Amino acid sequence: MTSIGELRRRTLDTLARQTYSLAGKDLTLLNDNANLFGVNPAVEEVAKSFDFSRLWAYPSENSDALRERISSEHGVSPDEVIVGNGSDELLDITMKSFINPGELFVSPAPTFGMYKFYARVNLATVKEKLLEEDYSIDANEILSENAKLTAICQPNNPTANLFDFNEVSKILSGSNGMVLVDEAYGDFCGSNMLKTVLACEHGIDTRTFSKAYGLAGLRAGFAIARSEIIDELRRVRTPFGLNSFTEAVAIRAIDNKKWVNAAVSKMQIEREYLSNRMTALGFSVKPSVCNFVIGKSTMDGPTLVATLKDRGVAVRDCSSFPMLKDYIRVTVGPREMMDKFLVEAEHVMSGKMR
């Protein structure tokens, strides 16, 4: 009988299964860039009045109420908004909508690894263009590839920096293909490229409720683009992608951003504290505008990450990214979580293991 391996699509032969979450383990989770400053009150507020007895019914096919609220918030038409099960789904359907087998997908490197994953799953030819030594982006280098689809993370994960607005704008205006600008971390630094994206005939702007809004567990994201682009994305998006409760919570979270703004302010204070303390411990720390910090110690990065995990602290090993050998990424959270990491890192790096 033919084996599963023989039946599998050949393009997936070298594609590893994606694994990120360490949820459920007894760890201080500083590895996935979630908002660690408590639960968004929108969850409890909606739960008090939500009609759970109606969960036998399907949700809105296209999350129309949430699309209306997003369109009002951002000054666009509902026809220019699509909602997804996290912005990850929107990355996937963008690839499905605009990439034919073998066509070129380009992104800077290092950047969010799921761009390349979805591009490969959807049969694209993938090319990564290394950032400059200071992690800046060169628009001419990106445009020289004449890609069918380009993805730019603004600000960038995992380097934590904001690309020059003019360079990203140049990519948007100069590309003959589609350009996706992922603003998942924009809320942490006030970055907003939506107006520039919409001025581009081929631009898509993706956002998420998983970061600053603190709703990663509910999986909601959205994209804004010209209506003709949204029409194409809706061709391949399955109906009923967002459940009724998540939709209601996301609407409430937009209506009351006081908690989000307070969480971002707390994060900025703790980010400075963490950066300074990591530097004092001997890390080479890069400037950050996001809710995470990357730094490199004199210790082998994978060994440091594995040893910290054994001691109850999960951080991200960045060594698999180009330009980031031995760097680790630490999500910024409340002071007690930062101190837990710092104490354990000091013990590991000094060799004073308990």
- From 223, 255, 287, the end of a domain falls on 255
Band the pLDDT of 354: cuts 50, 70, 90: very low
How many domains in the chain? 2
Domain membership flag for residue 142: yes
Domain of 70, CATH number, reads 3.40.640.10
Tokens of 69: 């609220």
- For the chain, the first-to-last Cα distance in angstroms comes to 54
**pLDDT, tens digit (0-9, with 9 covering 90-100), for 315-348:** 999 999 999 999 999 999 999 999 999 999 999 9
Same domain flag for 97 and 162: yes
Same domain flag for 228 and 287: no
179-193, 232-246, 331-345, range with the lowest pLDDT: 232-246
Same domain flag for 114 and 184: yes
- From 200, 232, 255, the end of a domain falls on 255
Among the listed residues 25, 80, 66, the one whose alpha carbon sits nearest the alpha carbon of residue 248: 66
Same domain flag for 179 and 281: no
Among the listed residues 124, 101, 219, 133, the one whose alpha carbon sits nearest the alpha carbon of residue 180: 124
Same domain flag for 251 and 306: no
Domain membership flag for residue 344: yes
Prediction pTM value: 0.92
pLDDT of the residue at 21: 54
Rounded CA-CA distance 111/186 in Å is 15
Q: CB–CB of 220/65 below 8 Å?
A: no
Domain membership flag for residue 13: no
- From 210, 233, 255, the end of a domain falls on 255
What percentage of residues in the chain have a pLDDT greater than 70? Answer: 93
Helix extents (H) in 85-193: 86-98, 113-121, 139-143, 165-174
Domain that holds residue 325: 19-35+259-349
* Nearest-5° Cα angle at 188, 64 to 198: 50
Exposed, middle or buried, 269 (CB in 10 Å: 0-12/13-18/19+)?
exposed
Among the listed residues 61, 129, 60, 122, the one whose alpha carbon sits nearest the alpha carbon of residue 91: 122
Domain of 273, CATH number, reads 3.90.1150.10
Rounded CA-CA distance 318/294 in Å is 8
Same domain flag for 229 and 317: no
- Would the pLDDT of 293 be above 80? yes
Q: Which residues pair with 107 in a beta bridge?
A: 128
